[in-house]
Structure 1
Amino acid sequence: MEERLDEPLDEPRAKRIHSVLFVCAMNAVRSPMAEAIARHYFGKSIYVQSAGVRKGEPDGFVASILSEIGIDASKHKPRTLDELEEWEGLNFDLIISLSPEAHHAALELTRTLAAEVEYWPTPDPTITQGSRDQVLDAYRNIRDGLMYRIRLRLKQTSPKSPNDGEGA
């Protein structure tokens, strides 16, 4: 098969990502938000999960700000890396850590897993002080930043091009 010079090349012929795991401290805000966004844009073309180093409680603001862009995350149940490993194993091509604690745990996992690890420092919006609107804006900023990074990082590896629009 002849390669055409005018066709866009994939990023440095990187290995195609078939599965991605997002990890944060408690699987309550950042990693479930990232999981829901990735599933929304990449459907079944990339297997996506999320987990936390520790188990937190579901955060209602996450479902609220994701519903604003047509993503339903209301059924998310926080889980730990240990729980995920027990249920289905940790066979992921890419692990994206969103907090320092999660990054340390992800690096520990690579001692026994052949997974690529990326650290995306992502602020914790739950520590935001102020009015309800100010807190929601902090969550929206995290959502929008994750949406941008996820679409940019995973679009090269997916056979299905995500829609350029924001949400459904």
Structure 2
Amino acid sequence: MCAQNAVRSPMAEAMAKHFFGKSIYVQSAGARRGEVDGFMLTVLDEIGIDAHKHKPKSVEELEEWEGLNFDLIVSLSPEAHHKALDLTRTVAADVEYWPTIDPTVVQGSREQVLEAYREVRDGLMRRIKDRLRA
């Protein structure tokens, strides 16, 4: 879960699904819903992961569509972490906070911005592999 389900959490969802397939159930959501970020798609494409079908959704939308039957909620932003903790009042799930910078705030050349997205991607990839490896 991140702030808008537009960059960090869809990256994490796509990578978890890519590396672990159907061995785990993964869905991403945001504290609120944003728009798909093109840089996010680009840096995933660079490593052969396709997230072009991602449709941003809020936690409330995810709950309406699928329910919130999760064992673990990983929050990637302060806003999402507060939302995740609120959810544990009604959902029996563990919450982990992985503070992750928001690459959308980085300014500079296209390459500088892409490098910020790559750093987020690579950091999330390491954490996902370490945490979810059975």
Return the TM-score normalized by structure 2.
0.99
Moved over 2 A (4+): none
Counterpart in the other structure of 1:136: 114
Residue 145 of structure 1: which of 98, 123, 129 is its match? 123
Q: Which runs of 5+ in 1 are unaligned?
A: 1-22, 157-168
Distance 1:135 1:75 in 2: 23
Counterpart in the other structure of 1:125: 103
Residue 71 of structure 2: which of 93, 99, 105 is its match? 93
1:81 aligns with 2:59: yes
CA displacement at 1:80 relative to structure 2: 0.3
Distance 2:103 2:29 in 1: 18
The aligned amino acid for 2:40 is V
User: How large is the RMSD of aligned CA atoms in angstroms?
Assistant: 0.4
Distance 2:14 2:105 in 1: 22
Residue 23 of structure 2 aligns to a residue whose secondary structure is coil
The aligned amino acid for 1:39 is K
Counterpart in the other structure of 2:92: 114
Structure with the bigger percentage of helix? 2
Counterpart in the other structure of 1:51: 29
Per-residue CA deviation, residues 16-37 of structure 1 (Å, 9 max, x unaligned), is xxxxxxx000000000000000
Counterpart in the other structure of 1:7: none
Structure with the bigger percentage of strand? 1
CA displacement at 1:52 relative to structure 2: 0.4
CA displacement at 1:105 relative to structure 2: 0.3
Identity %: 74
Residue 4 of structure 2 aligns to a residue whose secondary structure is coil
CA displacement at 1:64 relative to structure 2: 0.7
Return the TM-score normalized by structure 1.
0.79
Per-residue CA deviation, residues 23-58 of structure 1 (Å, 9 max, x unaligned), is 000000000000000000000000000000111011
Q: Which runs of 5+ in 2 are unaligned?
A: none
